[in-house]
Amino acid sequence: MSRFPTAWRECVGTGRMELALRRDHQDSLALVQREIGFRHIRGHGLFSDGMGIHRPFVYAGQRHVRHSFTYLDQVVDAYLEQGIRPFLELGFMPSGLASGDQTVFWWGGNVTPPASHTEWADLIGATLRHLISRYGIDEVREWPIEVWNEPNLPQFWQDADADAYHHLYEVSAHAVKDVDASLQVGGPAISPGDDKWLETFAAFVSRHDVPIDFVSRHAYTSGPARHVPFGVHQSLAPASALLDQFALPRKQLAGTPLGGLPVHITEFNSSYRPDNPVHDTAFHAAYLAPVLAGGGDLCDSFAYWTFSDMFEEEGVPTALFHGGFGLLTHRQIKKPIFHLYAFLARLAPEFVSRGPDHLITADDSGRITVLAWAPVDHTDAANSPATHHVLLSVPAPGPALFLLRSSVDDERGNAWSAWREMGRPHSPSPRQVDMLREAAEPARVHRSVQVTDGRVEIEIVLARHEVTLLELTPVVDETPPWWNDSRLVSGEEP
C-alpha cells in the first residue's frame, strides 16, 4: 500500500498576521492544531503597517529606517508554540515605502510598488536575518517564502502590471537568496481567471535566471457576487473545477525549466468572499470532500482559506455566523467543514482505495478508516439527493471489528442549523454559545461488525449533505468466561 497524500494539511490560511496577537485567534488555532494539526500557516500583511516592521524616521536631517520586530516575534512565537510554521507572504507595502496610496481591504493593505526597490530588498533581508537569529537557520529553511498576493488582480497590485510584478519578484528572490541560498522562495500567487500569467512569469524567471523554488496559485469556484446587506450570494461551479485548477500549474509548466518544481495552492475555497453563507453549511463540507480526498494527487499543498472567522477584509463581522471563510466561527464553534478536516486527521495513513463518494485507508494494526460523503447539487443545494447509499467490501482481519461512525449533515453536527433555529442571534448569550458548541459536535454511533472470508461488508446510508467517518478496529475479546450480560439484574446462580 502507498501512503495517502497529506497535501491537505501542509498549509492553512489565516487573516492578516497581526490577528495572531488576539486571544480568540490563539484559542482557535490551539483547537485546530489539537484536532487537525496543520503544518504551515499563511496570512497577509507581514509588511503592512499593522505589524510595525518598517519604521522610517528622520534624524539630523537624514532619513533612516528602523526595522522593528516587536509584533512579528509574538506572532511567530504563537505559531510555533502550536506546532505550526509560517508560510511567509512578502506583502503588502508599508506606507513609508509605498509609491502610491492605493489600498485593499477594510484594514488598508497598500498594493503599490515600492518607491525604492533597494529599500524593499533591505526590508526583506533584515526581516529574514532577524528570524534566523531568533529561530535558527534550520528552522527558517522550512518556511516557504511567497512574493506578494494575487498580483494579476488590480485590487491587489497596482494596475495588475505584470512587468512591475516581475521586477518585484526578481528583487525579492535575490534578497531572500542573499540571506541564505537554501531559503525557499516562489510565486506568483495568482488568482484564478488569467491563467496566462503563470506562463509569462515562468518565461521571465527562466529567461533572466531568477531564483525560484516553488510555484503558487489560488483556486476558487464561485461566480460574481450578488450583494445583500452584510452578505452575498454566488453561483458555484462543480467542485471538480477546483481539482482542475490544482492540476493546471503542472500542465502549464511541463517541459519548461520550472516543470519539476513543487506546486503550492496557497488559497482555496468555494467562494472568494468572506461573507457567503455557503461556508457555514454542511453542503460546503460535502462539496469539498472529494477535493480533499483527491487534491494531493495534483499538487504539493492546498491551503484552505481560512482556519478561523477572525478575518476583517470586509470589516468586523456583524454576526456570529456571517458566511466567514473559517473552519471555526469566533468563539471556536466548529462548522461542518471543520469536521471534514478533523475526520481526515483521524484517517489511517495507508491508501487502500478511493471512489467518487468515499476514501478508504488502513494501517498495519488492522485498523480501517472510511471517509464517505453524499453527492451535492452545486446549482441548488435543496436538490441534492435526500439519501445516498455506499456499498463497500473491504479486506479485514477477523473475526470481528468495532465500528465507530461520526457524522455531520444538515441537522447533525451543524451549529449553523441550530443558530438559525435560535432566530439567528447576532450576539448569542454565553448559554447560547454553549448550546451551539454542543450542537456542533458530530453524531456518533457504534456497533460490532463480523468479518467473513477475510472481508467486511459495509453499507453506508448517507443523509443529504452528510460527511461521515467510519473507524473499524479489530476486536480482541477479553470477556471472562464466567460473565453473562443477560444476568445483569439477576441474582440467580449460573
CA angle 139, 169, 94 (to 5 degrees): 80
Burial of residue 283 (number of CB atoms within 10 Å: 0-12, 13-18, 19+): buried
On whether the CB atoms of residues 477 and 448 are closer than 8 A, the answer is: no
Q: Pick from 316, 313, 326, 279: which is nearest to 44 by CA?
A: 313
**Buried-state track 14-27, b at ≥16 Cβ within 10 A, e below 16:** bbbbbbbeeebbbb
SS percent in the chain: helix, strand, coil, step 5: 35, 25, 40
Ramachandran region, residue 242 (left: φ > 0; alpha: ψ -120 to 50; beta: rest)? alpha
Ramachandran region, residue 50 (left: φ > 0; alpha: ψ -120 to 50; beta: rest)? alpha
**Residue 90: CB atoms within 10 Å:** 26
Q: Pick from 317, 247, 241, 240: which is nearest to 279 by CA?
A: 317
Cell of 443: 453524531
Given the C-alpha cell 467473513, which residue does it identify? 452
- For 419, the 3-state DSSP assignment is helix
**Residue 318: CB atoms within 10 Å:** 12
Cell of 413: 453536527
On whether the CB atoms of residues 180 and 137 are closer than 8 A, the answer is: yes
**Buried-state track 214-242, b at ≥16 Cβ within 10 A, e below 16:** bbbbbbbbbeeeeeeeebbbbebbebebb
Q: Give the dihedral sign, CA 98/111/106/87.
A: negative
Out of 18, 89, 150, 267, the active site residue is 150
Integer Cα distance of 113 and 169 in angstroms: 11
Q: Using the 8-state DSSP alphabet, how is residue 64 labeled?
A: E
- Dihedral of CA atoms 410, 411, 416, 417 in degrees, nearest 10, equals 100
**Residue 130: CB atoms within 10 Å:** 16
Distances (CA, A) of 273 to 55, 300, 324: 32, 25, 8
Cell of 350: 495507508
| Catalytic annotation present for 150 | yes
Q: Active-site residue numbers?
A: 150
